[in-house]
Every structure is written in C-alpha cells, then in structure tokens.
C-alpha cells in the first residue's frame, strides 16, 4: 500500500461538545495522514469489502472517508499500512460517529504489538519535518 503524510503536524480538529455545551477533552492528539484503507464489515446481513482513505489518526482510532452508508456501532476490520510501519496492519474498529461520508472509527481489541506500532507512528508524526 502507498501513503502520503499530509503535513506531519497535529491537526486543529475542533473538540467535541458535551450535552451541556462545554468542550470535551480528546483522549489523544490527532495527526494528519493520508493512507489507503481496506475495510470489511457486515452490512445489512451481507459481508462487504471496500476501500477508504484515512485522513487523520490517533492512538485510539482514525477518521476515514467512505462513500458508503454504514451505521454507527458497526464493527469493521481495517487493513492499512501506517506511514512508518513496514507491513500492513489488520485491526478491528467500531464506527463511533459520522458526518456525511467522514466516519470516526475507534480501534478495539488491539494487541500490544499493534498498539506499539500505532503509538510509534503517532510520535513520529508529531515531530516537525
């Protein structure tokens, strides 16, 4: 898989708002990337496989553009290659939020090895180039 690193800096994504209107604190910083992703999911009882583009990543998940209608809460399998990884990673995630065709996917059940690779990539993306 090929990839490009957009600007290797922390994005200025707005903070989510809580029900009381106060700004919620994100658990992890987000970093701009542009990586191809292959996703697999069970949608309406049928196993689907399709391509997507990851636009930012954190230790807890990523944002992906998918020109498909996928319900919140759906578990997906992601196959991707992070900018500073040598091989593809296969991860599980859950669709947590959506705005148009932009989806927020939380990583779930990551192995210690995958968590380490994601953390190393986030640290590398934080370094100004």
Query: Could you report the per-residue pLDDT of 38-71, keeping only the tens digit for each?
Result: 999 998 889 999 999 999 999 999 999 998 899 9
Buried b (16+ CB within 10 A) or exposed e, 93-123: bbbeeeeeeebbbebeebeeebeebbeebbe
Mean pLDDT confidence for 110-116:
95
> What's the confidence (pLDDT) of residue 43?
87
Mean pLDDT confidence for 111-119:
95
Domains of the chain: 31-126 (2.40.10.220)
> What's the confidence (pLDDT) of residue 20?
46
């Amino acid at each position: 898989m090929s990839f490009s690193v957009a600007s290797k800096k922390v994005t200025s994504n707005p903070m989510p708002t809580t029900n009381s209107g106060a700004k919620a604190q994100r658990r992890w910083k987000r970093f701009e990337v542009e990586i191809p992703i292959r996703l697999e999911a069970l949608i309406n009882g049928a196993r689907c496989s399709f391509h997507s583009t990851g636009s930012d990543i954190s230790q807890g998940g990523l944002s992906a553009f998918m020109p498909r209608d996928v319900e919140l809460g759906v578990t997906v399998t992601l196959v991707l290659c992070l900018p500073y990884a040598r091989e593809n990673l296969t991860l599980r995630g859950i669709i947590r939020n959506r705005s148009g065709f932009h989806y927020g996917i939380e990583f779930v059940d990551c192995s210690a090895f995958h968590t380490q690779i994601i953390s190393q990539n986030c640290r590398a993306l934080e370094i100004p180039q």
